[in-house]
Structure 1
Amino acid sequence: MIEHDDTREQLINTNGHRQSHSSLVGHRVRSRRRAVLAAPEPVTPPVPGAPGTPSTPSRDEQRQAELEQELQLARDIQQGILLAAVPYLPGWEMSTVSVPARDLGGDLYDFVPLPDGKQGIMIGDVSGKGLPAALRMAVARTVFRHEARKGDSPGRTLEAVNRIICSDIPQGMVTMIYIQLDPLRGTIRFANAGHTYPFVLNDTVGELELSGLPLGIFEESDYEEVELLVEPGTSMLLYTDGVTEATNEAEEMFGAASLPALLEANRLMKPSTLQRMLLRELRTWNPQTIQDDDVTMVVIRRRYLHIYDELYNIAVDVLGTERAANFWQQHVAGHAVLREVGALAEIWADHLPELTAMVHEQFGRGLARELQQQMRLALEEYRQ
């Protein structure tokens, strides 16, 4: 899911014009032969700027309007580049959101299918703002995609991208994380070129600390790789510095003060729900935050192995931790069939209307409908 919450005022270029006309005032003259029309009365031209006079935009105002239109077109093109389709991988969930800043920015992400069923996932940030950063972003994404399709390891891919960026984009640098996900083995192999550390959310919340120079600094940079097993139920949050470096009126950074605690309190949220929550918190932290810098997030989550655990996670996502725990204890944990962790998806599907009716009675129609929809989608996947 890609969210673009960027409403901007547009300068309206209205070409002012004035219409003048002469009023012919006729005077009847007593004559047997003809009627003579009097000469037109003189009309004084309107004074520019006087009340009631249509204004003509100045040359500077017209140029400003043209520039704003061009920038909006560039923003649309940039967002079109970022609309990479989120891949479907059995046993996994992924969600993305990218909210552009007031000016053109340099956030980027991408998904690249790889040999042997693996999936490439990238997020990055180009230095600077405005049109130069947007152009560098487009070049960096094109170079990355070309190199990633070769199927080399994350470290070697970043090294190849770095050499090209050093040669072709000498004026800027790019931070980037490249992950290769093996969905069948449940592993990730990744390398980091100076980007913000990803967060890992499971029983606890921590960062994957792996460093490397940003791309475009030193042509012969090497990039270390790490391979990790992603346990079922674990989520990973990849994000750009528009999240952590957002400041409030007291000049406090959102990341340093709020992000780890928020993730700890909401670590069981599903990817799209987690992203929406973080965007709400950012807007509360400072309503201008998302106007000042791009905010981009990619969340990857491995589903639980057993449908019982996955459906409980969905209940937490929809109802909240406390209400879900109470509901589960009351209606599921004591159920003769559903309490078995190994219960099949078909069995759960048979009892889903019953559970939905209970949620409807306790929490209302809206939450019941949302819970039913999410559980149905999960059950369809576990049946496969």
Structure 2
Amino acid sequence: MAIINLDNYLQLLKQYVDTQDEKVLYQAEQFSKHSMQHNISPEEIIDVHIKALKQLYPQLPKEIDYSLDFLLEAMISYGLAYQEFTSLRESQSEIKSEISVAADMQQTLLSTVKPAIKGLEIGAISVPANQMNGDYYHFVEGTEGVLGVAIADVIGKGIPAALSMSMIKYSMDSYPEDQRIPSIILENLNRVVERNVDPSMFITMFYALYNPNTERLIYASAGHEPGFYYNAAENQFEEIKAKGIVLGVSKDAKYEQYERVVEAGDVIILLTDGVTECRIGDRFIEREEVLEVIEQYIHLPAQQAVKQVFKHFERLQDFQLRDDFTLIMLRRDV
């Protein structure tokens, strides 16, 4: 541990008191840098300064003496607080670095390829509010061009959410194709989540299969945010309603399966609550307002449409997302 040389400091202080020479101030600056490099605390510098001052002026008024004692005590408290602050800042820097690595890993683990499906146009966007994304979407291409689509949201954020999503993805990928029926997928995943995820954390999920040969969509939901179906011929939206309890609540949960025909030009819109619960100031946007925004861009190519919808909501929130934003559009070709 470095110790301040009192004689050197005394000489430097006397020289400046006598001359007020700026060159001496430069030497003082170098002394400060040296002290910082050797982890000399502010109170140690003050203590040496007081000792040097008393040697130079042994007859200091007692009021000055008291004030110097006061300054020393104040700097001791300051030094302790500064050490705590420095330690906290270093810890935060380490955590930030770890989260950055985890976010990159999450992006790699949860990456999905948007497949080319005959007669279907696909648009998808997912933007995290923070570094880690609590939303997830995934495409699975089966035989004869059948498309599996998953969209999910973890009730709980950060690294645990990312790990849960990774588990969901790899569980899904492990199922054989004949078991990728929406209701069965959700029942299997529910058991995985119930056994392996902390009870305080739940996952909502919507899973659908689109068959381009029959133009049929079959789907099931585990408490996920209802999507929308756009009827192009009538230029109208309707809610895609599907009942089902969130994953991880009950190991014996069953999920009802639904089916509908997708007409030419119609659009299936899947999303998370980061879209429907967008906030403008202190007010949550209404679902009707969400549809008004989507309607503005629904006639664009699907990928362009989801990007424009995101940009619209991003502007509404002054470019400060309060929740993860995920939006998928599937349009059957005319």
TM-score normalised by length of structure 1: 0.62
Q: Partner letter of residue 258 of structure 1?
A: E
8 Å CA contact 1:120, 1:148 repeated in 2? no
Matches within 5 A, 1:344-359: none
CA deviation map 1:45-104 (0-9, x unaligned)? 325599xxxx99922222211211111111111122332110001211112111112242
Gaps of 5+ in 1: 1-21, 23-41, 305-384
2:302 matched to which residue of 1?
Answer: 271
- Specify whether residues 276 and 189 from structure 1 end up closer, same or farther in structure 2 by C-alpha distance, changes over 3 A only: same
> How far off is 1:260 after superposition?
1.6
2:113 matched to which residue of 1?
Answer: 85
Distance (whole Å) between structure 2 residues aligned to residue 113 and residue 256 of structure 1: 31
1:98 matched to which residue of 2?
Answer: 126
1:285 matched to which residue of 2?
Answer: 316
8 Å CA contact 1:161, 1:215 repeated in 2? yes
- Specify whether residues 82 and 297 from structure 1 end up closer, same or farther in structure 2 by C-alpha distance, changes over 3 A only: farther
2:267 matched to which residue of 1?
Answer: 235
Choose which of 21, 31, 42 in structure 2 pairs with 1:45.
31
- Specify whether residues 223 and 112 from structure 1 end up closer, same or farther in structure 2 by C-alpha distance, changes over 3 A only: same
Secondary structure of the corresponding residue to residue 143 of structure 1? helix
Distance (whole Å) between structure 2 residues aligned to residue 105 and residue 64 of structure 1: 20
Runs of 4+, deviation exceeding 6 Å: none
Q: Does 1:246 align with 2:275?
A: no
8 Å CA contact 2:150, 2:205 repeated in 1? yes
Distance (whole Å) between structure 1 residues aligned to residue 145 and residue 311 of structure 2: 35
Distance (whole Å) between structure 1 residues aligned to residue 327 and residue 116 of structure 2: 18
Q: Does 1:168 align with 2:199?
A: no
Distance (whole Å) between structure 1 residues aligned to residue 289 and residue 245 of structure 2: 27
Choose which of 222, 239, 255 in structure 2 pairs with 1:223.
255
Q: Does 1:123 align with 2:151?
A: yes
CA deviation map 1:266-295 (0-9, x unaligned)? 4323211221221122122112542x3211
> Which structure has the highest strand share of the two?
2
Q: Does 1:260 align with 2:246?
A: no
Distance (whole Å) between structure 2 residues aligned to residue 129 and residue 170 of structure 1: 13
Distance (whole Å) between structure 1 residues aligned to residue 240 and residue 183 of structure 2: 16
Distance (whole Å) between structure 1 residues aligned to residue 132 and residue 280 of structure 2: 22
Secondary structure of the corresponding residue to residue 258 of structure 1? helix
Identity %: 27
8 Å CA contact 1:148, 1:157 repeated in 2? no
- Specify whether residues 247 and 162 from structure 1 end up closer, same or farther in structure 2 by C-alpha distance, changes over 3 A only: same
CA deviation map 1:152-179 (0-9, x unaligned)? 4211111111111111114221111111
Q: Does 1:209 align with 2:241?
A: yes
Distance (whole Å) between structure 1 residues aligned to residue 160 and residue 115 of structure 2: 30
8 Å CA contact 1:122, 1:176 repeated in 2? yes
143-152 or 194-203, larger mean C-alpha shift: 143-152
Distance (whole Å) between structure 2 residues aligned to residue 258 and residue 297 of structure 1: 16
> How far off is 1:232 after superposition?
0.6
Choose which of 205, 208, 225 in structure 2 pairs with 1:196.
225
Gaps of 5+ in 2: 1-7, 9-26, 43-81
> How far off is 1:148 after superposition?
6.2
Matches within 5 A, 1:265-344: 265-290=296-321, 292-304=322-334
Secondary structure of the corresponding residue to residue 107 of structure 2? helix
265-274 or 101-110, larger mean C-alpha shift: 265-274
Report the number of matched residues. Answer: 258
Between 1 and 2, higher relative CO (CA 8 Å, sep ≥ 6) is seen in: 2
Q: Greater Rg, structure 1 or structure 2?
A: 2
> How far off is 1:255 after superposition?
4.4
CA deviation map 1:170-209 (0-9, x unaligned)? 4221111111110121111111111111111122111111
> How far off is 1:151 after superposition?
3.1
TM-score normalised by length of structure 2: 0.71
Secondary structure of the corresponding residue to residue 291 of structure 2? helix
- Specify whether residues 257 and 103 from structure 1 end up closer, same or farther in structure 2 by C-alpha distance, changes over 3 A only: farther
Query: What is the aligned-residue RMSD (CA, Å)?
Result: 2.5
Q: Partner letter of residue 294 of structure 1?
A: D
